[in-house]
Amino acid sequence: MATGEAPMTAASPIVTVAIDQTNRRTIEMSTGSFVARMAVTLAAAGVAAACGSDASSSPASVPSSIPSTSVSSTSVPAPTAPPATTGRATSAPPAGDVLFSDDLDDDSNKWGVVDDPEFGTAAFTGGDYVWNFRGSMAHWLPGVLIDKYDAGELEMRDVVVDAELTISSGGGVAGVFCRETPDTDAEWQWYDFVVRDGYAAIRLADSEGNITPLAEGREIALPLGTPISIEATCQDDGGGVAALSMAVNGAPVLETVVDSPLGNGAPGMSAWTFPMHEPMDIVWHSFSVRSAA
């Protein structure tokens, strides 16, 4: 996998982690990231790449509409099979069935609450899940889906992941992911679908900070404080190829196909700050998963 991380330097942060073994959620204490299942070390240049930034050029002009962008097939390495202790559901649910839905008005689905004034907070406030994020990266899953995956009861390979959110401040990206599965050169890997004003991307990412862009676009207008609707589709074609696509505010934005796709895994929320540790405030209004048509 290609890496989105620059070589480590003396100025690069070293991660110190505190782990809750009950639900395997990890909070990076030195970098202040909210991360589920993992710890991540990122160099500043890597975060710039992750957020679609180019330090050598000014931001691209952004039209008022969101055009559809088609990206040719991209091959990625085959994923590592889940460990023997992790079972897999064998039958897919009927197309269109709602597999998970959360209005995010409380923590009944075990997303988790974080309160660290220096590194950031995550709390349920006013009917929303509010992140005051000060770290480098957030990769967040509800505990109920982690539990189902670990018990071999989760079938979310071919899904549509929907989220309603508002990026209130910050220059980073936020969005959703699908198919969190074990990796060969990291503990976990997944397909990321992220946006910010002037940038949208579908990419393969992992818990070591490696990023492989699969599709990118810059002709998208998403001013801070504007509600965003993201619809991410992950669906196999039955022939060893997966189609990945993203719609934003109801309009198709990006699509691509990948060979040797990732297998069955849980979806969730993600965010990457830019510049690293630049305050980023995100309000999550809803999150749901349905089987792909």
For every residue of 187-200, DSSP letters joined together read SEEEEEEEEETTEE
Please report the pLDDT score of residue 44 as a whole number: 31
Q: Mind listing the domains of the chain with CATH numbers?
A: 17-53+69-291 (2.60.120.560)
Distance CA 61, CA 79 (A): 37
Please report the pLDDT score of residue 8 as a whole number: 24
| Residue at token pair 């995010």 | 104
Q: Which two tokens stand for residue 100?
A: 């998970």
Distance CA 207, CA 30 (A): 16
Please report the pLDDT score of residue 91 as a whole number: 54
Please report the pLDDT score of residue 142 as a whole number: 97
10: left (phi over 0), alpha (psi -120 to 50) or beta: alpha
* Residues contacting 133, CB < 8 A, separation 6+: 34, 120, 122, 170, 271, 273, 279, 280, 281, 282
For residues 189 and 79, the answer to whether their CB atoms sit within 8 Å is yes
Q: Which two tokens stand for residue 227?
A: 């509600």
| Residue at token pair 């508002």 | 166
pLDDT in tens, 186-230: 999 999 999 999 999 999 999 888 889 999 999 999 999 999 999
Please report the pLDDT score of residue 23 as a whole number: 37
Q: In the structure, how many helices (H) and strands (E) does the chain have? A: 2, 19
Cα-Cα-Cα-Cα dihedral sign, residues 29, 35, 36, 40: negative
**What are residue 206's DSSP bridge partners?**
189
Please report the pLDDT score of residue 29 as a whole number: 29
What is the SS3 assignment for 50?
A: helix
Please report the pLDDT score of residue 92 as a whole number: 58
Please report the pLDDT score of residue 136 as a whole number: 84
Strand bridging mode 74-75 / 251-259: parallel
Mean pLDDT by 10 residues, the chain (293 residues): 32 27 33 38 37 42 33 36 40 76 97 86 96 89 96 96 97 97 93 98 91 95 97 92 97 96 96 90 98 86
Peptide bond before residue 275 is cis, with ω within 30 degrees of 0: yes
Distance CA 36, CA 43 (A): 20
| Residue at token pair 């048509």 | 293
Please report the pLDDT score of residue 111 as a whole number: 97
What is the SS3 assignment for 9?
A: coil
